[in-house]
């Protein structure tokens, strides 16, 4: 963290309410966060609001990971509107998703 403070300031905020004025940045980037937020559309809207020229999104969706069979099963559950119930049971009511390697430090 020392390098961050040497090269500038660190601003704490929320993706659904970025603490910056409209068109504050030339480019706004997101890496592997959207699949963790309840409503990614709000976060992307905030990214678009604070960007002057470009928004870069690099993320996977709920169906882009795992073997093909499991991807298809997840997609079917989503289409049948059963994904929320399945995810609730799968995560013991917590609703979160931890991808392989997350939390490693």
Q: What is the pLDDT of residues 47-83, one digit of tens each?
A: 999 999 999 998 766 667 778 888 888 889 989 999 8
Is pLDDT at 101 greater than 60 in this prediction?
Answer: no
Question: Would you call 67 helix, strand, or coil by DSSP?
Answer: coil
| pLDDT of 4 strictly over 50 | yes
Alpha-carbon distance of 98 to 105, in angstroms, equals: 14
Q: What is the mean pLDDT of residues 83-95?
A: 84
Q: What is the mean pLDDT of residues 21-25?
A: 97
């Amino acid at each position: 963290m020392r390098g961050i403070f040497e090269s500038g300031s660190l601003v704490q905020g929320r993706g659904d309410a970025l603490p910056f004025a409209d068109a504050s940045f030339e480019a706004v980037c997101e890496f592997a966060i959207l699949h963790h937020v309840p409503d990614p559309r709000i976060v992307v809207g905030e990214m678009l609001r604070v960007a002057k020229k470009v928004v870069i999104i690099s993320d996977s969706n709920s169906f882009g990971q795992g073997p093909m069979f499991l991807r298809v099963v997840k997609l079917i559950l989503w289409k049948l509107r059963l994904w929320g119930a399945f995810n609730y049971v799968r995560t013991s009511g917590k609703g979160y998703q931890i991808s392989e390697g997350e939390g490693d430090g």
